[in-house]
Each structure stands twice: as structure tokens, then as C-alpha cells.
Structure 1
Amino acid sequence: MVHSTPEETFRRMIDLLLAKDMDAVADLWAPDGIAEFPFAAGSSPRVLRGREEVRAYLAHYPELMDMKEVAALTVRPTDQSDTVVVEWTATGRTVANSRPYLLDYIVVLTVRDGLIALFRDYWSPLSAAAAAGTLAGLIDSLERKDA
């Protein structure tokens, strides 16, 4: 099923994330679609090129984070009909330690022919690491880079 607007595509992605269907999430990407994470730190990638890199990146996500709900979602149109800015908040629990989390995101999404051409995800690596219980490891990896 082809989703005609960026908002429809994003909402479908959220439904699939909640269903933990990572293959279907990856299938929303164009074969040459890009995922960018400008604030990525530590071992997290800054860019994924193509649907299959996205698929590999997402493969184990449900084993790490158990997203339960989207607590807030605001879609802001841009002057380009193929691009929206989405502010959203996910809640759930971290699988490793069963701690609850609440993470905020801002995504700039560009869709071509109903598929994701560019997904620029502005998330906080510090908040994500704190939720996952890996903050000390992230800080350690950053300190080693600076040394």
C-alpha cells in the first residue's frame, strides 16, 4: 500500500513500530532512502544509506526498547508538499532493565512516491542512553574520542 502524504507515511511507521514489525518499517524506505541522526553519539551511526541499512539498524530494536505508546504527535507542514516536520514523544520500557522511558524526537521527513526518501531524526543520545541504562558507557566512549 502506497501512502501518498508524508504524514500518512509517518503515522504508518508509528503503527508498525508499536506492532514491532521492523521489516515493515524498513519497507517504508525507498531503496535509496536515507536516515540521518545529526545528534548521534558513541557507537550510534550518523547516517544509514538505503533500505537495507535501515533494516539492519532496526532489526534488534524491539529487544532493546519496548515502545508502548506515542504520547504526543504534532505534524507541521512545510512549504514543500513532500516534507513535514514531526514532533513526537514515545513512551515505553527499556527491555534490559524494565525501566520506563519517555523520549522526545523531532523528525524532518521527506517522502517520494509514498516512500521515505529522507528521515532526519533529531533525538537526544543522552536521554536514550539514560533510558537504556547505558549512559556511563556513552560518556566513556565520548571521553575516549576526545583523548
Structure 2
Amino acid sequence: MSDTMSPADLYRHSLRLLLDKDIDGWTALVDGDALFEFPYAPDGFPSRLEGREAVAAYMRDYPESIDLREVVGLEIHEPRDPDTIIAEWRGVGRIVATGAPYEMPYVAVVTVKGGRITRYRDYWNPLAIMGSPSDDAFADVTFFDAS
């Protein structure tokens, strides 16, 4: 990773790290004082994470929860702010605990400064993979550390 890497290239690199299940490498892209926000976070999921350590704890169990196998349809939009991108894509894989298919649309607004992610607003909806409130298929699945 380079301080001269564009926000779009850094984001592409971050997705490659997720596909490789390299959570430590992915977390290394996050600034120590980063702010992560999840506007659609349901009860039991954090709506805000502050700092690299909080993000690392949140992402720690990602590969044991979601086996991300493919990033489909990645589109990166570059607004006026040269430090910020808007990324749209679909994650495809499987839920590790159940073997169920995983397919989730993502929209993320990401700001990068000094070669690190400083702000990340993730518009994914975890309820979409859990089914209806009466669906017990995911009752014992921990997708992320929500503490």
C-alpha cells in the first residue's frame, strides 16, 4: 500500500484483501482515528465504530461468518472531493455456519487521507441475509462482533 494510492485503488485493494480473507491486512488500511458508520444497522449491530481497534474487533470474525467469494459489478464514483469515493457492488459467497448462499448489495462512501481509510459509511443491510424475524435459519449465526 502506498500513500500515493488513489482512494479508488485503495478500495479495490481492500476488496481483494476481503476476498483473500486477510482481515489484518484489511484493518491495516484503516486510520487509527477512523469513523465507520452503518446507517441501516438494526438492533444488536453497532451503528458507529470509532478507531482502528473497534473496526478490527468488528471485522475479526468476518471470514468465519461470511465466505466472500466474488465481488460483482464494482462501480466506483468519484465526487468532487478527491479524497472520497462512492462504491457500489454485490458480494457473493456463502454463510459459513449454514452453507446458505450469500448475496448482498453494498453501497459505501469512503474517505481516504494519507493512504488510510478515515471515514467509511456502509449502507449494507444485515437484515437482508437473516430473513424475516420469524426465520430461525440464522439464529445461531454471528455475522460480526456487534459489541
Please report the TM-score for the alignment, with normalisation by the length of structure 2: 0.87
| Mapping 1:31-42, distance limit 5 Å | 31-42=32-43
Aligned identity (percent) is 39
State the match for 1:142 in structure 2.
Answer: none
**Alpha-carbon shift at residue 128 of structure 1 (Å):** 2.9
Q: Does 1:73 align with 2:77?
A: no
Partner SS, residue 123 of structure 1: coil
Cα distance between partner residues in 1 of 2:126 and 2:107? 13
Which runs of 5 or more structure 2 residues have no equivalent in the other structure? Answer: 142-147
Does the aligned pair in 2 maintain the 1:64–1:94 contact within 8 Å? yes
Partner SS, residue 13 of structure 1: helix
Please report the TM-score for the alignment, with normalisation by the length of structure 1: 0.87
**Alpha-carbon shift at residue 127 of structure 1 (Å):** 1.1
Moved over 6 A (4+): none
State the match for 1:141 in structure 2.
Answer: none
Cα distance between partner residues in 1 of 2:11 and 2:49? 18
State the match for 1:91 in structure 2.
Answer: 92
How many residue pairs match? The answer is: 135
The structure where helix makes up a greater share of residues is 1
State the match for 2:145 in structure 1.
Answer: none
- The C-alpha deviation readout for 1:65-118, integer Å capped at 9, x for no partner, is 000000110000101000011001000000011011110010000000110000
State the match for 1:10 in structure 2.
Answer: 11
Cα distance between partner residues in 1 of 2:130 and 2:8? 28
